[in-house]
Amino acid sequence: MITIGVEEEYMLLDPDTSLPVPLAEQVREAAGLGPIVEEAEVQSELLQAQVEVATPICTDLEEVGGHLLRLRHAVGAAAEKNGCRLAACGTPPYRQAAPVPVTRQARYLAMRTQAPQLVAEQLVNGMHVHAAVPDRAMGVAVLSRIRVWLPVLVAMSANSPLWDGTDTGFASWRTVIFGRWPVSGPPPCFTSLADHESRVQSLLDSGVITDTGQLYWQARLSDRYPTVEVRCSDVQLRADTAVMLAGIVRALVATAIREEKAGTPLPLCPPELLQASNWHAARHGLSGLLVDPAGRARRAGDVLCMLLDHVTPALDEAGDTREVTSLAHRLLQEGTPADRQRQALAEGGMSALLELITEETVAP
């Protein structure tokens, strides 16, 4: 069984203005004092209006869901104690005129010097799934096999339609913002571990990036853990939707490992087509068409079903099929979190939107 872990990033919002508030350190300290949260499970992020949580290593989806709910409730309660609210949204509804302060860590301060406007606009929250791989060579093979499915995950997870109080027209504006870093978007297709290491070293030697933490590909090898880290998804409004995505990622990795061992040919997709597919997924979410891994435009629901068919044997093996498919069907019926944000805003204004993104964050 492939073990997994999940990281989620959240926004801290003022309950009256909906603006991000720089209270991350206070919230982290309050959450870490509780009896149900380890200090290392709640971490700082680039900007002081964000907090990140990380689950322990999990073997099944029930564990993932339990840890996410525990952490969301603990950090949500800590936020309430400090006069703000926790929001699992990919972008905040509004921003202040002045940038949110950068967290006082050397790496983050160096990033601000390198790209001040980009850092000022990094009020974006994602969900990262770590899935264990046997070794780095297999990890590279997994990256090259799952890359063609990343746009589908972008579409499914879209939860960032608003920016500066305006509908951007994109389901995942976070994807667009994050795609402006020099090394970002879907990863390349690597031929081997040596090819991966050589190309990463070339990026480092160029000086454009200063460390491998700035490899912002939507899927990458982790430097800290023996895992592939899939990081293309917006943070999810509800914990159970995050569980669904974690289950799909694990099944994608398991399927890729099986295909690599069997010598199945790589699913090739030209980088320009994959980049365009990713942009299209961020633009439309599950509304209308998606581009499938072969480059054909199809109804979004059909492409989602193609993904589920692709990973069904791995879902069956893990015992995840029923949970993942039922949540995927709910997603198709209710729409993405971006769709739900737009609906709340249209029906009840900003107060209804704030209620949605804060109440759903801690919903059981």
Find all residues with CB under 8 Å of 38, minimum gap 6, and list them: 32
**Domain total for the chain?**
1
What are 84's two structure tokens? 């703000």
HSE-CB of 266 using CA atoms within 13 angstroms: 17
pLDDT at 224 over 80: yes
CA-based nearest residue to 231, from 284, 280, 182, 178: 178
User: Residue 181's CB: how many other CB atoms inside 10 A?
Assistant: 18
Report how far apart the first and last C-alpha atoms of the chain are (Å, whole number): 26
How would you classify residue 169: left for phi > 0, otherwise alpha for psi between -120 and 50, otherwise beta? Answer: left
Domain that holds residue 176: 4-362
HSE-CB of 19 using CA atoms within 13 angstroms: 10
Can you tell me the mean pLDDT for 274-289?
A: 97
Q: What is the mean pLDDT of the chain?
A: 96
Instruction: Give phi and psi for 253, each to the nearest 5.
Output: -65, -45
**230-246: pLDDT as tens digits:** 999 999 999 999 999 99
CA-based nearest residue to 10, from 94, 130, 126, 102: 126
Percent of the chain with pLDDT strictly greater than 90:
94
**164-219: pLDDT as tens digits:** 999 999 999 999 999 999 999 999 999 999 999 999 999 999 999 999 999 999 99
What are 100's two structure tokens? 């949110």
pLDDT value at residue 250 = 98
* CATH number of domain containing 219: 3.30.590.20
Q: How far apart are CA 136 and CA 2, in angstroms?
A: 15
Cα 99 to Cα 77, 234, 325: the distances in Å are: 26, 22, 41
